[in-house]
Structure 1
């Protein structure tokens, strides 16, 4: 067990150590504040010296150029205020101060607005490039028709679709025979019918075109088809 005198002495030592540490902290804070104040004063003095040098330079320029002095005399208080603002903005008295966040916010807002404008320009240019109308190739009148005629004359493939033609053949055969007969068609038979019908139509339209040319026309009409069939000797008329 410790004696009460020893306990009181240890508690006194602890309180003394705590008070000395607090005093040391206060001294350090005061020294830091004094250092910051000195730095601020030095910055202000430097800026003031720069302002004085600029004012002296302006005075020398006014003395050397009489036209500038006369224009400055007629400008009035607004020009002097704008000149002071320009000096402040050039020298930067209120810049780089501790706790000054106005300039940083302004610079960030300006940079953000510039980025938005650039994005809008890029989007507008990209949209204009995407939505540009495609230029169609133009042909002389009659050139495309002659090209199609040559292609059809060169090819021997069937022009009608096979499935619709097969459905048409089955429908007509059912009308003649009836559904109870059970008529069935082979694919080769339907292809032979398609080949014959296409050749018949091609030759008929060739004669019809000749009849239209004989009538001094370009467009074929129903009466041209009827005349071509009568010349061929076909009695029944479409």
Structure 2
């Protein structure tokens, strides 16, 4: 005869995932014995954030311009040369800064609205069709 198994042992239970990665805990008993300066909360490892998220947060909190001065100056001088017969026109630093600021504001607002269109289509990536749709919508503004 085979012996009957008892049900007093450990029972494995399946749990639903919460969708969030829990914080990992480090064995703090050994750490607390060696040093009493830090608390237990200091040794909880936080999940690493991706580089893209950190960069996006840094850019949203900064006040510096995203577009460099030299490419804007070259582009504006090229446009000035195309629309005028004389090629010896000059532009002040303040005027170039105003053009740079306006260009950046336009591009940021344009791509923010493109992102809204992509989210509306249940996508994360901005696609050329979002840009075309936004251009079509801006015709009637």
Where on the TM-score scale, by shorter chain, does this alignment land: which range? 0.5 to 0.7
Does 1:146 pair with 2:70?
Answer: no
Shift in Å at residue 214 of structure 1? 1.3
Aligned to 2:118: 212
* Cα distance in structure 1, aligned partners of 2:135 and 2:63: 25
* Cα distance in structure 2, aligned partners of 1:234 and 1:218: 26
> Structure 1: which 4+ aligned runs deviate by more than 3 Å?
none
**What is the correspondence of 1:14-25 to structure 2 with a 5 Å cutoff?**
none
Aligned to 1:58: none
Gaps of 5+ in 2: 1-46
Does 1:182 pair with 2:77?
Answer: no
Bigger-Rg structure (1/2): 1
**What is the correspondence of 1:46-61 to structure 2 with a 5 Å cutoff?**
none
> TM-score if structure 1 supplies the norm length?
0.37
Measured against aligned partners, the alpha-carbon deviations of 1:42-86 in whole angstroms (never above 9, x if no partner) come to: xxxxxxxxxxxxxxxxxxxxxxxxxxxxxxxxxxxxxxxxxxxxx
Match of 1:199 among 87, 90, 105: 105
Work out which structure has the larger RCO, using CA pairs closer than 8 Å and 6 or more positions apart in sequence.
Answer: 2
Shift in Å at residue 225 of structure 1? 1.1
* Cα distance in structure 2, aligned partners of 1:176 and 1:234: 27
* Cα distance in structure 1, aligned partners of 2:56 and 2:91: 33
* Cα distance in structure 2, aligned partners of 1:158 and 1:146: 19
> TM-score if structure 2 supplies the norm length?
0.60
Shift in Å at residue 187 of structure 1? 1.0
* Cα distance in structure 2, aligned partners of 1:208 and 1:195: 20
Aligned to 2:76: 169
**What is the correspondence of 1:45-194 to structure 2 with a 5 Å cutoff?**
140=48, 143-178=50-85, 180=86, 182-194=88-100
